[in-house]
Structure 1
Amino acid sequence: MRGKIIILACAIACVALGAAAAFETRAGRLQAIKTVGIISAIGEEISLTRAGLTGLDNVAQTASISAWGLDELIVQQATKLLSGRFHVQPVSYRRAAFAAIRDSAVAPVNLLRSDPFKELVRSDVTPQGLDAYIVITRARSKLGNGRNVEGVGLAEYRTLLADYGLIHALYEVRLIEGKSFDVIEKRAAAPLDNTGTVRIAGPSGPIEATFDGAGSSERLRAAIADLIARSLPLTLGDMHLIEGQ
């Protein structure tokens, strides 16, 4: 028994030492970063997803919201947040190419695969040679009975007793080194509030306004923009990319 305890203690110590070494390596790589470029590709379409007791009408619908300029807004907000620590340089990229990758590499099933965004940063972003690139793309979560929700959208969940509605802006952030194109860190934006009846793993909130009639598109855009504005500082702070975090 004593031998098993010693072996377990050694294993725990090795894990702790490995984690500490990884943290020190990551911290050193962060300290070396001076120039960054920001890539955003989450905001070209909005989805409407129904889950729960929906009968046969449960196929997700999508609509274009390219006119909202959400990706431009995200780049502006991220630039403002990061400028205190880094020199943020404008970059050009094919947004559609980044948006076309729908399978989240943050999911556990993908951890052993090469991150699909590495090659895109290498081949599709100009200028090359910055110290790092910050890539912001759609993330995915489960809703209720297992339906997937992704990116920007509205979700309805029906039960026998009530209907629930959510708006969501699910995204993940990768920090990619600009010479080796290694992924230094990747993190999905966390929920802002987990007190609701229906919860998803990312920035979301209850539908508190009617998105019908005149001005509905602008009200919905404002609600989605608010989710992003409140969650982005928290996500970048969790990644220690904001000065003082």
Structure 2
Amino acid sequence: MRTAGRYAWIAIAIQLILSSSAHALFETRDTKLKSVKTVGIISAMGDQFTYAKTGLTGLNNSPRSIPIASWGLDDLIAQEVAKALSGRFQVQPVTYPRATFATTQESTIGAVNLVRGDPFKKLVETEVSPRGLDAYIIITKAKASFGGGNRKVEGVGLITYSTVLESFDLVHALYEVRVVDGKTFDVIEKLAAGPQDGASSVRLPGPSLMIDAGFDTRDENLRRTIVDLITRSLPNTLNDMHLINQQQ
């Protein structure tokens, strides 16, 4: 009985610690955001469009990618984010190596990488100008699982799924948003964009859309679809991060 009672007290203590830690986390985020006045927007997720095939044989190990920098997605995203944040923050233009941000990957979780921290922290500290803003908002590619196992897709692309029983195409625009403190370069908040409200048959945990076989896949039509996915999801993502209040 004493052992059981001791375990019960340990469980209660753990719950209290976790609860207080979560409260402290949100309190720190909200407190830090209240002190932010000036922000810079960094967008680096729209450089490549990836075609992948999956189905009975699994995800193609060599998906085909094409450059789409000419679509201007990152400039559009930066403009949309700046417009959304302008009611609360003073948005200032910044310069940064977009290709470097676009190709930076988060490392697998491990002791060494936990010490190194978020890879974008160092980039903001060394590669972004001007320095000294209160915070920097970074939009980069997100990864998501598709189907079973360790099959991953990321960023902007189209998945063709085919089996004996079904076949469809899925367009996706997967991204995540970070808020980096401009003084300490710590990550205040990070969140991957979720699926659209009311989306049916969602097969990815991010902005995506099933298209039928008659969809015109010429570049301009794909671009319009991707732009729609991004611009419709951005307000919800920024709201969930407490950067804007959609009810105002």
TM, length-normalised to structure 2: 0.89
Query: Which amino acid is the alignment partner of residue 115 of structure 1?
Result: D
Equivalences for 1:79-98 in 2 at 5 Å? 79-98=82-101
Query: What is the aligned partner in structure 2 of residue 156 from structure 1?
Result: 160
Quick check: 1:104–1:139 contact (8 Å CA) kept in 2? no
SS at 2:221 equivalent: helix
Farther-moved stretch of structure 1 (230-239 vs 141-150): 141-150
Quick check: 1:104–1:140 contact (8 Å CA) kept in 2? no
Quick check: 1:50–1:59 contact (8 Å CA) kept in 2? no
Deviation at 1:55, TM superposition (A): 8.1
Query: What is the aligned partner in structure 2 of residue 53 from structure 1?
Result: 56
Deviation at 1:51, TM superposition (A): 0.9
Query: What is the aligned partner in structure 2 of residue 232 from structure 1?
Result: 234
Give per-residue Cα distances to partners, 1:143-182, cap 9 Å, x unaligned. 1244321100000111221112100000011100001100
SS at 2:137 equivalent: strand
Quick check: 1:84–1:243 contact (8 Å CA) kept in 2? no
Aligned residues: 239
- 1:128 correspondence with 2:131: yes
Cα distance between partner residues in 2 of 1:204 and 1:56: 17
Cα distance between partner residues in 2 of 1:4 and 1:91: 54
Q: Percent identity?
A: 50
C-alpha change, 1:201 and 1:244, in structure 2 (3 Å) is: closer
Gaps of 5+ in 1: none
C-alpha change, 1:14 and 1:121, in structure 2 (3 Å) is: same
Equivalences for 1:57-206 in 2 at 5 Å? 59-101=62-104, 103-104=105-106, 112=114, 113-145=116-148, 146-192=150-196, 195-196=200-201, 199-206=203-210
Cα distance between partner residues in 1 of 2:237 and 2:59: 37
- 1:22 correspondence with 2:50: no
Equivalences for 1:33-52 in 2 at 5 Å? 33-52=36-55
- 1:210 correspondence with 2:215: yes
223, 240, 243: which one pairs with 1:241? 243
TM, length-normalised to structure 1: 0.90
After superposition, the CA RMSD in angstroms is 2.2
200, 221, 224: which one pairs with 2:223? 221
Cα distance between partner residues in 1 of 2:17 and 2:77: 40
Query: Which amino acid is the alignment partner of residue 169 of structure 2?
Result: G
Deviation at 1:108, TM superposition (A): 6.1
Query: Which amino acid is the alignment partner of residue 3 of structure 1?
Result: R
Cα distance between partner residues in 2 of 1:21 and 1:74: 31
